[in-house]
Amino acid sequence: MPPPVPAAGIRLADLAPLAGATVQGDGDTIVNRVATLERAGPGTIAFLANPRYRAQLATTRAAAVIVRPADAGATALPCLVAADPYAAYAKVAAALHPPEPPVPGADPSARVDASATVAASASLGAGVVVGAGATIGERVAVGPLCVVGAGATLADDVVLHAAVTLYPRTVIGARTIVHSGAVLGADGFGMAEEGGRWLKIPQIGRVVIGADVEIGANTTIDRGAIDDTIVEDDVKLDNQIQIGHNCVIGAHTAIAGCVGIAGSTRIGRNCRIGGAAMISGHLDIPDGTVISGSTGVYDSIREPGVYTSAFPALPHRDWRRVMSEVRRLRELAARVDALERAHEAAKDGR
């Protein structure tokens, strides 16, 4: 089902400056929602970012399209021409499909501690609990069944979707979005072993989230054992990510779903981490590093680059054959080493 259509559309000429684009064709064309090239219809605007879909420019039923300059001649439709069509599409989509502003006020079932500070413009949904000394800023939207722990701070324009849990003293920066089921500030996995038993170590740090961060559904971020767990500005976290205690995630880094990051790991700025990557604790990853999906990282990375350890999928019969050879590598390496030593000894004996 397509997204709701805005009541009034926007002229292409008015969208162009918002998208950092120029108009080719009829700038008075009205569009009211975004669509794919394949499924577009009247009133929609589509985009071409991947060359493999270029042929669809000839068949799309969109009212207008967003293209790069090299593709502008491939369609007779009105166009927004931009160097980066995908980024332009993101801006157009935001203009055509803005989020509904929160309705100020608290649902009657919300429970707000008397010592909490809640801005008059904030919205608290059904069943929300706000703890002692918490601070909720202007235009914050707290969805149904959220828990905002004691002493937590939500800066202006934060959005918590339904059933988010913020443990005490968690800090959320301005304009950050946290999706349903996320848990921020739970105990880190800190244990000491003595006499065959585990001793729980109190986790006294916080979770501190920067501005313009997005945190996916059911993602969990543990609070620090002593110092804080920190997620810097403009970090984008997908669903079902686990971030251990005392980690630091640098600004503008993007992490895909199901990634696990053990405690006290420092990930630099502008990194890209693919889905299901597993990162051990107490290591460093430098700025600008790309880690492929399903990659295991067990030591610090010293130089930025693209790192991959996942084994590509093979037909099962081929995989068994390859794995049988892999199991022989240690034996083969020992045989090669012995041959090299024998060869060197023979040369010395001449």
245 is catalytic: yes
Q: What is the 8-class DSSP label of residue 73? A: G
CA 225-228-229 angle, to 5 degrees, is 95
- Angstrom distance (rounded) from CA 241 to CA 74: 41
Q: Which of 161, 179, 245, 252 is catalytic?
A: 245
- Angstrom distance (rounded) from CA 121 to CA 336: 73
- Angstrom distance (rounded) from CA 18 to CA 12: 10
91 phi, psi to nearest 5 deg? -70, -40
Contact 162, 143 (CB under 8 A): yes
When computed from its CA atoms, the radius of gyration of the chain, rounded to whole angstroms, is 27
- What is the secondary structure of 267-323 as a DSSP string? E-TT-EE-TT-EE-SS-EE-TT-EE-TT-EE-S---S-SEE--PPPP--HHHHHHHH
- Angstrom distance (rounded) from CA 41 to CA 259: 38
Active site residues: 245
